[in-house]
């Protein structure tokens, strides 16, 4: 019997994922991590009000979630002082990126990103047959000028940039990002990923212009709001761009529990302020731990800090592997020269103590393996 075959495009793709989850690593090594500091989750947790709302909604989980996420869209619109027609809710930024690429990219279409930037976007481009063009980072920052120049050169449909950046944590100010938006070539859409924007300094995000048809902005409840497991993200854009999502999205992808939790989290400004303070303290602690081990850190506007291990990617990967063995889950950039760093998510004081205790041994073992 002849079995049904994958499409030629699907057959050409590797069966891999952008990130190996900590759970898979725990299963492989046979013990749980002592400190989970690799996925940029908020170990400080979501708002207690969000938890209460999700617990209440659990009794209603027999019902599908509102396919329009009406209440959450209305609340986000009021929060940003824009119209609900400018917002699309989705199962995290990752899903929204996938739908966006599906809408605008077909076989051979050019897409531009930075070499070593958030890789999930690249998987979507490959999955729909697009051609990915990359430019290098500049001084550990994504380079808006180079991205725009490359987009003009290749006739790109989409340009992707994260501000603040993942995996380096660096950022550009609002004026610089607005310059980039203004320079987007005709027939191209800028995908501005602002997953960490609530943790960035004032003046990082350019003003929202809902009439601009050359930019779409991505936000999430996974980082500052501490709801990574609930999978709630949203896009902000011109009405015709947002309406496009309704053509192909999973209309029942959002659960009632996630919608209720996000709505409560959005209304709890006090908890968000608390998280900003905790993240700031944890960033300072990571900087201190690095300095105690003779290492430097990169400036960060996120809930993680990149530590420069002082050598190359091979050495940094050894340090990372040693930390994993010691029960500390961390990650690192995957493209040189950014891969000289390891990336440490902010965490509780107890988690920082575990990291501080493990780092000297991880560094020493990496040095010992050099010769």
Rounded Cα distance, 87 and 234, in Å: 7
Cβ count within 10 A of residue 113: 25
pLDDT of residue 18: 83
pLDDT for 166 equals 98
> Which value, in Å, is the radius of gyration of the alpha carbons in the chain?
21
Q: Residue 371: its pLDDT value, please?
A: 60
Parts of the chain belonging to CATH 3.90.1150.10? 20-45+270-366
User: Would you say the pTM of this structure is higher than 0.85?
Assistant: yes
Show pLDDT as tens, one digit a residue, over the chain (371 residues).
Answer: 789 999 999 999 998 888 899 999 999 999 999 999 999 999 999 999 999 999 999 999 999 999 999 999 999 999 999 999 999 999 999 999 999 999 999 999 999 999 999 999 999 999 999 999 999 999 999 999 999 999 999 999 999 999 999 999 999 999 999 999 999 999 999 999 999 999 999 999 999 999 999 999 999 999 999 999 999 999 999 999 999 999 999 999 999 999 999 999 999 999 999 999 999 999 999 999 999 999 999 999 999 999 999 999 999 999 999 999 999 999 999 999 999 999 999 999 999 999 999 999 999 999 998 76
Question: Where along the chain do the CATH 3.40.640.10 domains lie?
Answer: 49-267
Whole-angstrom distance, CA of residue 364 vs CA of residue 371: 12
Secondary structure string (H, E, C) spanning the chain? CCCCCCCHHHHHCCCCCCCCCHHHHHHHHCCCCCEECCCCCCCCCCCHHHHHHHHHHHCCCCCCCCCCCHHHHHHHHHHHCCCHHHEEEECHHHHHHHHHHHHHCCCCCEEEEECCCCCHHHHHHHHCCCEEEEECCECCECCHHHHHHHHHHHCCCEEEEECCCCCCCCCCCHHHHHHHHHHCCCCCEEEEECCCHHHCCCCCCCCCCCCCCCEEEEEECCCCCCCHHHCCEEEECCHHHHHHHCCCCCCCCCCHHHHHHHHHHHCCHHHHHHHHHHHHHHHHHHHHHHHHCCCEECCCCCCEEEEECCCCHHHHHHHHHHHHHCCEECECCCCCCHHHEEEEECCCHHHHHHHHHHHHHHHHHHHHCCC
- Report the pLDDT value the prediction gives residue 328, as an integer from 0 to 100: 98
Q: Which CATH number fits domain 49-267: 3.50.30.30, 3.40.50.300, 3.40.640.10, 3.30.70.2740?
A: 3.40.640.10
Domain 20-45+270-366 has CATH 3.90.1150.10: yes
Kindly compute the dihedral angle of the four CA atoms of residues 346, 348, 351, 357, in this order, to the nearest 10 degrees: 90
């Amino acid at each position: 019997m002849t079995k049904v075959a994958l499409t030629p495009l699907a057959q050409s793709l590797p069966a891999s994922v952008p990130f190996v989850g900590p759970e898979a690593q725990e299963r492989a090594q046979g013990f749980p991590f002592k400190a989970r500091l690799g996925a940029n989750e908020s170990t400080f947790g979501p708002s207690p009000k969000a938890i209460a709302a999700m617990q209440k909604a659990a009794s209603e989980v027999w019902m599908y979630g509102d396919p329009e996420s009406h209440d959450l869209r209305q609340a986000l619109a009021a929060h940003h002082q824009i119209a609900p027609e400018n917002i699309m809710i989705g199962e995290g930024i990752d899903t929204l990126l996938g739908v966006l690429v599906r809408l605008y990219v077909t076989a051979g279409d050019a897409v531009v990103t930075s070499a070593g930037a958030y890789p999930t976007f690249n998987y979507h481009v490959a999955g729909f047959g697009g051609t990915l063009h990359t430019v290098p980072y500049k001084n550990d920052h994504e380079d808006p000028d180079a991205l725009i120049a490359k987009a003009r050169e290749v006739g790109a449909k989409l340009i992707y940039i994260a501000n603040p950046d993942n995996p380096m944590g660096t950022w550009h100010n609002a004026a610089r990002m607005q310059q980039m938006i203004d320079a987007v070539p005709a027939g191209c859409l800028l995908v501005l990923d602002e997953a960490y924007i609530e943790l960035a300094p004032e003046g990082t995000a350019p003003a929202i212009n809902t009439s601009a048809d050359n930019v779409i902005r991505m936000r999430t409840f996974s980082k500052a709001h501490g709801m990574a497991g609930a999978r709630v993200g949203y896009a902000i854009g011109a009405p015709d761009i947002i309406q496009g999502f309704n053509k192909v999205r999973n209309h029942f992808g959002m659960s009632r529990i996630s919608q209720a939790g996000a709505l409560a989290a959005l209304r709890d400004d006090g908890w968000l302020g608390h998280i900003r303070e905790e993240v700031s303290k944890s960033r300072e602690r990571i900087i201190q731990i690095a300095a105690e081990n003779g290492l430097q850190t990169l400036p960060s506007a996120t809930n993680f800090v990149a530590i420069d291990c002082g050598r190359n990617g091979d050495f940094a990967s050894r340090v990372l592997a040693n930390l994993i063995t010691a029960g500390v889950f961390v990650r690192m950039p995957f493209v040189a020269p950014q891969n000289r760093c390891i990336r440490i998510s902010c965490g509780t004081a107890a988690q920082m103590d575990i990291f501080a205790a493990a780092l000297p041994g991880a560094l020493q073992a990496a040095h010992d393996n050099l010769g």
